[in-house]
Each structure stands twice: as structure tokens, then as C-alpha cells.
Amino acid sequence: MDRARVVVVGSANMDLVAKATTLPQAGETVLGGEFVTVAGGKGANQAIAAVRAGAATSLLGAIGSDAFGVTLKARIDAAGVDTGLLRVVYGASGVALITVDAAGENTIVVTPGANGAFTDLTGPELAAIASADVLVAQLEIPVETVTAAARAAREAGTRVVLNAAPARALPAELLDAVDLLVVNQTEALAISGESRPEPLLASVPRAVQTLGAEGAWYVDRSGTSVRVPGVRVETVDSTAAGDAFTGALAVAWAEGREIVEAVGWACAAGAACARRLGASTALPNRAEIDELWSVSRGPGPGA
């Protein structure tokens, strides 16, 4: 079977990650421990997650002309993502400042940098979207660009998975082009005014609300409403668990997996990611996902 083809339209950031016993409160300084710099951004993370889950994956986005941009491209390339259409724009790359506590919880501040300059789509970028099985997008780039990408995918028959993060109200034009919406409780509230998934079906045909360690809740307009249990692991860092989930979900769906089972496999991917420190460096490969999935439920896609 040919590899599934996934195109990710989204952000690329350099993540500056510090571990501390507790997260600082307003006005407080805490003494940290381990510090790492990691290629991140929800777009880059989900592209790397999709590659490691088994798909041929391209990233459409923008990095800066600074040293962070050089490092970002090198690390995303090394992960196996096609960066042939990744733009370099003059100025600073996106940066995320991340603090992780002893329980694996985190706080994150993102400065968009070059991501904010990704304001249109070129002919080659539109062609890449049209040739994909699934388009994956998030909201760390201008929403107008996300909307244009989703509309182009819809016109070409490419499925659209939107991870509506960070939380914000979304234009109807974008939601009309979405096939599968992925949100957490906060993001669901921002879109529908309610912190559960069913009201989202007024805007999209399918939705998944992630529930952290508890798994995920899938709903669709056919009347399906399924709570998919999570996979229990010892959490080290939850920073990119949601990105691992979204990337794996897109791959399993692109490969033709039944959607509820795809959600379960994606839960295993999120759990596997949470066992390690970092963002892109923590994203699991297909064998790791299959192993956790097999232990908890049975064989995963292609196992």
C-alpha cells in the first residue's frame, strides 16, 4: 500500500523549554532544572507526528532568516518532513517559551515571528494541498491563510482536519470547509459557547474533543457519540501530546481506518508522546504507537 499523503499548513517555532518543580505564578521566580531547545510550533509538530506515524508529509509555512530559522529547517528536514515549500522570510522566526513542572503540566507563551507573514498561498502550495489525502491545519498562522487552504482542499476533494488551537472564534467560511474538527474543552467553548463536542456539529460534520489522560470524545452528524478511553502512562511532559494525537489521527484516517478506531490509535500516540520531555523530540514513531495501542486494545493500523 502506498503511504498516505498528508500536507500540514501551519507554524514552525523554536521551543525554549525549561523544567521546574512548580510553574511560576504572576510575579514569581522559580529555580529551574533541565533546559532544551527543540523544533516546535503546532504545524511542525503535527507534520513530524504524521511522518513518524507513517505518512509522506509536507509542511507549508514560514521561518525567519535568523539562526533559529536555519536550525528549524535542518531539524524538520532531519525528521523526514518535506520542506521544499517552506518559506524563509526576513526577520525573526517564531519562538515558544515553555515551562514544564514536575507533573508534566506546562505554560506556553508563543511569539509568532515569521508565522505571521504567511498570509497567502502560491500555486505550488495549492497544488500540494490538492494532491494530498488529508490537509491538517491549526491556528498559529493567520486565520485567512488557514481558510484559503481549507477551501482549496475542499475544492480538490482533500479531507480537512482542523485543530482549532489556540482557542478563538472561527469564521463560518472556515468551518464550512472542515471535515473533522479537533478541539480541547477550552477550544470547544470558544467555537460553540459550550465545553462539550455535540454543539460543534452545528458547524462541522465531525468533531473530536480531547480529554487529556482520559482520552477523547468523538461525535458526528450520523448520531455517533463515543468516549474513547485514554492510554495510561507515566506523564513526563504533555507539551506536544495534542500534536501527536492530531498527526496520528490524520494518518490513520488517511489510510482508511474507521474513524472511532483512528481516534483510539491517536490517543495511544498522545500517551506515547507524554512519556518524554520536549515537543518534536518526544513525538512517537509508528511502532511505539502500535505497541501502546496493542497493549490496551489490539493491533493498530498496519501492525
pLDDT value for 198: 96
243 included as an active-site residue: yes
- Please tell me which residue, 83 or 280, carries the higher pLDDT value: 83
**What sign results for the dihedral spanned by CA atoms 208, 43, 295, 252?**
positive
Residue 71 annotated as binding site = no
In whole angstroms, give the CA distance from residue 81 to residue 78. Answer: 7
| Exposed / middle / buried, residue 232 (Cβ in 10 Å: 0-12, 13-18, 19+) | exposed
What whole-number distance in Å separates Cα of residue 194 and Cα of residue 259? Answer: 23
pLDDT digits (tens, 9 = 90+) for 122-178: 999 999 999 999 999 999 999 999 999 999 999 999 999 999 999 988 999 999 999
In this predicted structure, the answer to whether residue 239 has a pLDDT above a threshold of 80 is no
- Given a cut of 70, whether residue 265 has pLDDT beyond it is yes
The DSSP bridge partners found for residue 160 are: 135
Question: 99 labelled as ligand-binding?
Answer: no
State the amino acid at position 94 in one-letter form: G
Residue 299 pLDDT greater than 80, yes or no: no
CA atoms within 13 A on the CB side of 80: 16
pLDDT-based confidence at 302, cuts 50/70/90? low
Which of left, alpha, beta for 298 (phi over 0: left; psi -120 to 50: alpha)? left
**Domain ranges in the chain?**
5-25+33-296
Distance between CA 86 and CA 40 in Å, rounded?
A: 14
285 is in an annotated binding site: no
CATH 3.40.1190.20 fits 5-25+33-296, yes or no: yes
247 assigned ligand-binding residue = no
DSSP one-letter code for 200: G
- Give the Cα separation of 101 and 220 in Å (integer): 36
266 assigned binding-site residue: no
State the cell numbers at 2. Answer: 502506498
240 is in an annotated binding site: no
Cell of 207: 468533531
Q: What pLDDT digit, counting tens, does each position of 61-97 carry? A: 999 999 999 999 999 999 999 999 999 999 999 998 9
Note the pLDDT of residue 171: 95
Q: What percent of the chain has pLDDT over 90?
A: 78
User: If pLDDT is split at 50, 70 and 90, which confidence band does 249 have?
Assistant: very high
Question: In this predicted structure, what is the pLDDT of residue 190?
Answer: 93
Is 278 annotated in a binding site? The answer is: yes
Instruction: State the catalytic residue, choosing from 133, 179, 220, 243.
Output: 243
Residues forming a β-bridge with 19: 100
Q: Rounded to two decimals, what is the model's pTM?
A: 0.90
Q: Which residue has the cell 465545553?
A: 195
